[in-house]
Structure 1
Amino acid sequence: MASNLLSGDVPKVFGNLTKLEILDFSENPYLVSEIPEDIGQLVNLKQLFLQSSSFQGEIPESLKGLISLSYLDLSENNLTGEVPKTLVSSLKNLVSFDVSLNKLKGSFPNGLCNGKVLINLSLHTNSFTGLIPNTTSECKSLERFQVQNNGFSGDFPVVLFSLPKIKLIRGENNRFTGQIPESISEAVQLEQVQLDNNLFDGKIPSGLGFVKSLYRFSASLNHFHGEIPPNFCDSPVMSIVNLSHNSLSGHIPQLKKCRKLVSLSLADNSFTGEIPSSLAELPVLTYLDLSDNNLTGSIPLGLQNLKLALFNVSFNQLSGKVPYSLISGLPASFLEGNPSLCGPGLPNSCSDDKPRHHSASGLTTLTCALISLAFVAGTALVAGGFILYRRSLKENEAVVWRSVFFYPLRITEHDLVIGMNEKSSIGNGVFEYGYNKKASEQLDVYSFGVVLLELVCGRQAEQTDSSDSSLDIVKWVRRKVNITNGVHQVLDSKISQTCHQEMVGALDIALRCTSVVPEKRPSMLDVVRGLQSLESRTCVANLQGPNDEPSVP
């Protein structure tokens, strides 16, 4: 009965169905009802799914009679009150207990691990308060622990960090105190830790670097202090690190082993010394925030080779010339507070800056009809040649991708996580700083994406003038769409507004083709299908001669 349009009250007719093993009323948003108490008589029930509906009232204490129950999901409803004190301890076969996204209050449910088979515990986004007992040490099978967005307080149970099967720990947005123990190194399957916005203190443990499965560690808005251990980012799959808004000090370690790092935020601490040059060797680094520290020295030149969508080093003590490709397209506020920095567009001009003279360059006015023709011809040519060259291409391959630069057109750390497959192997990667690497599927798609960006934006792949346009087109577009109304700034202004929707669609495809992670680029077959779906037949171009005044949009 899941995923229907059921409405009204759930009748009390289940008490006699004693042989029922699965009951599923999930995803019925119009089912405004209390949970029938007679469900508790189903002694053979193994799975009860009531999530994502509109159940209200309190959780019936009668559910403790479900002695065979393994899966209980009451999440995303309007349940109130407390979890019955004897409910969880009575269900000794529970594998998964989920009451998240309700309006529940009270203390942490006792006896959760009495049966020693609990794998998933999700209490997040409620109004629970009080302490979490140390009896969680009995949860030897626990893999997922989610208590974020509540009012829990007191010391976070350190035993959770060393459970043998734990994979996910989320406790952000509470009032937890305590420290992260060195024993975290024993959590050999740990993948994700999020403890943001709490009252943790102490140092970042060196044991963190021994957890080779960890891909996200986020502990911003706490009171951590001291130096970061040099091995803290040694996990080969580490993708996101957020230690901003703490009291960390010392030098930022050289980061060489976490080559899958996408996002690094160390803002608002007390780091000193220079920006590590090794950051330039992290091939998929996209989000870098080192603002509000005491960093000195110059900005490493190698950073200009990265496809950084966000680069914030404001309010430090940096000096020297800023590589122009790091300035172009970024808000000036990302560099402010460093009075000794110099370069084009900054208050200080460097002594070796010289005026540049150039001739106007760029694409001529393109009509939407020509764009449509170019789409068809270009995709047919590239796709046809590629299919002939790659006889092993599987036409039925399915590539699922969500562009982090298209909607809502502003990069957030959350988008970066969604935009990459967290459990896949990214591999060594092929990154196209010039466009002359050995032919491969990812490179073919990337090159076509560059051509598509040229068409949509009305500019060449690389331009060398003294304006904002001197950045290569991939970096230029990525940075533009990361600011307010940025997408409107990158589209060719000479094209009629009637083509806007189709051009945005083409821009999204182009950005996916030039993804930082090669394995996340679509196949040429998917590219062709995507372009064919745009249907830009109704577009009308603004045809202008060389002496015509530009039209006002």
Structure 2
Amino acid sequence: MSSTRASDHYLHYSFGLFCLILSLVCSTVQSEELQILTKLKSALQKSNTRVFNSWESSVSVCKFAGITCNSEGSVTEIELSNQNLAGTLPLDAICQLRSLEKLSLGFNLLHGPVTKDLNNCVKLQYLDLGNNVFTGGVPDISSLTELRYLHLNGSGFSGTFPWKSLQNMKGLIRLSLGDNPLSPSPLPSEVVQLTKLDWLYLSNCNIQGAFPAGIGNLRELINLELADNNMTGEIPEEIGNLVNLWQLELYNNSFTGKLPVALRNLAKLENFDASMNYLEGGLSELRFSTNLVSLQLFENKLTGQVPPEFGEFKKLVNLSLYTNGLTGPLPQKLGSFAKFNFIDVSENLLTGPIPPDMCKQGAMKMLLMLDNKFTGEIPANYANCPTLTRFRVSKNSLSGTVPTGIWGLPKVNIIDIASNNFRGPVTSDIKNAKSLWQLFLGNNSLSGEIPADISGATSLQSIQLNNNQFSGELPSSLGSLSSTLKVLDLSHNQLSGEIPKTFTSLRLTQLDLSYNKLTGPVPESLSKGSFTGNPGLCSVGKGSVLPPCPHK
């Protein structure tokens, strides 16, 4: 045999042997991984899910639902989020999958502890155990140096989080630990050293103290959520370094001081919520935030005027500034560009007219402007706002007649115009307000008869028309609201005639007809109501403060 032929023979033999060994290795790996996944299925056997139907030993693990393999046939991903899985997690087995890069088990019913075996999943790049019902703490995960995405939010984790583990995760892009009852901790320096983070969710997890000095390092952040914690101090100027921020949520903490000047640098900011803090000063630093979609700063100590620039914001749809000390008028173009749907500026010192075009794009749902010093009339445009569910402008100095269409808005739940200077009637189109629960009109100068068509508003639970100038008789049609109506206050008006017999079918928790010009008998079933100031009323029962009715 020539040396060349011998060499070729040897090469063929070697290649064949290599393929055989490789085949045996692959077969062994597949066999091991099948055993591991079978153990996972067994641990979660009580789950109400069909996802494991394909997990049979006769099927390649790479064809199991929720499993992804690499080109060598090794499992690289387990994606079983939102599958109604229940049971404890066998991490001792799962972390024997040597090529596992993604473990996604969020939005399930997994319980019990997350064991230290997690630290053996050294190739993980994506870990999501969020929104489960685990107990105990998060173990040390300092070996997971390849992690890019870490989601552990809302899973019942308690105790001290292993913040130092984050030192080894220099490539971390998303960190979500919020909504866990962790032990109190300041925002750790390890977090602000993760300069590749674009998403940081640490709301409602017992973060306390001030912002760390390095917060400005996180220049890639598009979302920063630190709400529902115990943070204190001022919002630092360094926040202005986070020029990519799309959302900033700081509500329900104890922040003090003024809004930082550097907020004007956040040109991409669309959602800003720093409500329920102790912030002072004005809103002027936000006049440059032209991309704002939602601004919520309610329950602070803010003063000064609402910047006129807000009226030019083309994307703004949600403005909530209630319970502050804001003064001056609202921009008259407010809400006229985007599909504006919510405003609550109640409990301030705002003056001037109601902006007329907040329903211009036909999307307005809630107009809440209670307890200010607004003047002028209700703009007629709101009578043509079919999406409106709550219209509340009580405790102002508004005047004029209420635009007719307001009464009959098809989706409105609450009409609250109490304690103003309105005059004129309630019109019969109120019969179209099929969704109306509460009608608060007290303390105005409204007049005319209460329309019989009010009974067409078949969802009414509370009717409060007290302290007005309504006249005429009580509409007997109100008796048809027996299944819904609980409160009826018509006191301090000029109503006359007898109490309709249909009222006996009402099941009221509060009835006040006092100080009118009513006459005749009070039905015994209504005797617990208030009827003072109606000299013409009499009682048919015993124990009433009213004089007895004469016997016929």
Q: Report the TM-score, using the length of structure 2 for normalisation.
A: 0.60
Cα distance between partner residues in 2 of 1:484 and 1:225: 35
Change over 3 Å in CA distance of 1:210–1:281 after alignment to 2: same
Is 1:7 the counterpart of 2:87 in the alignment?
yes
Is 1:77 the counterpart of 2:155 in the alignment?
yes
Cα distance between partner residues in 1 of 2:452 and 2:359: 23
Residue by residue over 1:447-501, the C-alpha shift from the partner in whole angstroms, topping out at 9 and shown as x without a partner, is xxxxxxxxxxxxxxxxxx9838599xxxx98xx779789xxxxxxx99xx9xxxx
Cα distance between partner residues in 2 of 1:226 and 1:45: 51
Residue by residue over 1:177-221, the C-alpha shift from the partner in whole angstroms, topping out at 9 and shown as x without a partner, is 23223433322221111111111111012x534333321111111
The Cα shift of 1:169 comes to 0.9
Does structure 1 retain, via aligned residues, the 8 Å contact 2:216–2:240? no
Per the alignment, residue 291 of structure 2 pairs with: 213
Change over 3 Å in CA distance of 1:100–1:115 after alignment to 2: closer
- CA root-mean-square deviation: 3.6
Structure 1 runs not aligned, ≥5 long: 346-354, 363-404, 412-464, 486-492, 498-550
Cα distance between partner residues in 2 of 1:483 and 1:124: 38
Cα distance between partner residues in 2 of 1:306 and 1:210: 30
Change over 3 Å in CA distance of 1:9–1:68 after alignment to 2: closer
Q: Tell me the matched-pair count.
A: 372
Cα distance between partner residues in 2 of 1:57 and 1:100: 15
The Cα shift of 1:166 comes to 0.6
Match of 1:53, as an amino acid?
N
Matches within 5 A, 1:306-321: 306-307=385-386, 308-321=388-401
SS at match of 1:81: coil
Cα distance between partner residues in 2 of 1:153 and 1:468: 57
Change over 3 Å in CA distance of 1:321–1:25 after alignment to 2: closer
Among 144, 149, 162, the alignment partner of 2:228 is 149
Is 1:232 the counterpart of 2:310 in the alignment?
yes
Per the alignment, residue 52 of structure 1 pairs with: 131
Per the alignment, residue 206 of structure 2 pairs with: 127
Does structure 2 retain, via aligned residues, the 8 Å contact 1:254–1:279? no
Does structure 2 retain, via aligned residues, the 8 Å contact 1:209–1:234? no
Does structure 2 retain, via aligned residues, the 8 Å contact 1:142–1:163? yes
Cα distance between partner residues in 2 of 1:258 and 1:154: 36
Match of 2:375, as an amino acid?
T
Matches within 5 A, 1:313-352: 313-328=393-408, 334-338=416-420, 340-345=421-426
Per the alignment, residue 102 of structure 2 pairs with: 22
Does structure 1 retain, via aligned residues, the 8 Å contact 2:322–2:347? yes
Per the alignment, residue 38 of structure 1 pairs with: 117
Change over 3 Å in CA distance of 1:80–1:251 after alignment to 2: same
Change over 3 Å in CA distance of 1:318–1:24 after alignment to 2: closer
Match of 1:236, as an amino acid?
K
Change over 3 Å in CA distance of 1:242–1:305 after alignment to 2: same
Is 1:160 the counterpart of 2:244 in the alignment?
no
Does structure 2 retain, via aligned residues, the 8 Å contact 1:100–1:125? yes
SS at match of 1:40: helix
Does structure 2 retain, via aligned residues, the 8 Å contact 1:96–1:120? yes
The Cα shift of 1:87 comes to 2.1
Does structure 2 retain, via aligned residues, the 8 Å contact 1:251–1:272? yes
Cα distance between partner residues in 2 of 1:79 and 1:155: 29
Change over 3 Å in CA distance of 1:26–1:321 after alignment to 2: closer
Does structure 2 retain, via aligned residues, the 8 Å contact 1:296–1:316? yes
SS at match of 1:212: coil
SS at match of 2:88: coil
Change over 3 Å in CA distance of 1:108–1:344 after alignment to 2: same
Per the alignment, residue 540 of structure 1 pairs with: none
Matches within 5 A, 1:65-104: 65-104=143-182
Per the alignment, residue 519 of structure 1 pairs with: none
Does structure 1 retain, via aligned residues, the 8 Å contact 2:88–2:113? no
The answer to which structure, 1 or 2, has the higher relative contact order (CA under 8 A, 6+ apart) is 1
Among 195, 210, 215, the alignment partner of 1:136 is 215
The Cα shift of 1:89 comes to 2.8
Per the alignment, residue 397 of structure 1 pairs with: none
Does structure 2 retain, via aligned residues, the 8 Å contact 1:23–1:45? yes
Match of 2:425, as an amino acid?
P
Residue by residue over 1:301-338, the C-alpha shift from the partner in whole angstroms, topping out at 9 and shown as x without a partner, is 33323333221110011222222322457788711111
Cα distance between partner residues in 1 of 2:242 and 2:452: 52
SS at match of 1:169: strand
Q: Report the TM-score, using the length of structure 1 for normalisation.
A: 0.60
Residue by residue over 1:156-175, the C-alpha shift from the partner in whole angstroms, topping out at 9 and shown as x without a partner, is 23433552211111111111
Change over 3 Å in CA distance of 1:171–1:66 after alignment to 2: same
Bigger share in strand: 2
Rg larger in structure: 2
Cα distance between partner residues in 2 of 1:225 and 1:483: 37
Match of 1:467, as an amino acid?
P
Change over 3 Å in CA distance of 1:86–1:231 after alignment to 2: same
Cα distance between partner residues in 2 of 1:35 and 1:484: 52
